[in-house]
Amino acid sequence: MNSYLLWALRVIPAVILLQTLFFKFTGAPESVWIFTQLGVEPWGRYLSGAMELLAAVLILWPRTTPFGAVLACGLMVGAILSHFTKLGIVVQNDGGLLFGLAIVTLACSAVLAWNGKDVLLNLVK
């Protein structure tokens, strides 16, 4: 895969994951509302933020990209399921922005995980 495309696929989800950290770690009202709806406020918000930080760092470091991508996929599947089951697609009149960002992050991370499948499979062997 083209190295420029791979870097774009790394940067996009990493930026999305990193930009949400400010809201999670500072207790922004929207983040507090989301995790209250999920019944895991505040510890779920902090744990989610920490895991997203780890995923972003792993994605940006080429040697660990597949591991961060798998972690990000898991986190985004959880986020998307939360939207479908408890939050709704539109959260507090955001027009579906958070849901859309989760979809984009999942898509980029899935491609990165697939691209690094040999590394991941070697770990299993």
pLDDT single digits (tens) 55-85: 999 999 999 999 999 999 999 999 999 999 9
* CB neighbourhood size of 3 (10 A): 8
Q: Is 95 exposed, middle or buried (0-12, 13-18, 19+ CB in 10 A)?
A: exposed
74-80: list long-range contacts, CB under 8 Å, 24+ apart: 75/48, 75/51, 76/102, 76/103, 76/105, 76/106, 76/109, 77/106, 80/106
Domain boundaries, the chain: 3-119
Query: Mean pLDDT for the chain?
Result: 96
- Is the pLDDT at 123 greater than 90, yes or no? no
- Is the pLDDT at 45 greater than 80, yes or no? yes
DSSP 17-30: HHHHHHHHHHT-HH
- Is the pLDDT at 1 greater than 80, yes or no? no
- Which pTM was predicted? 0.95
State the pLDDT at residue 49: 98
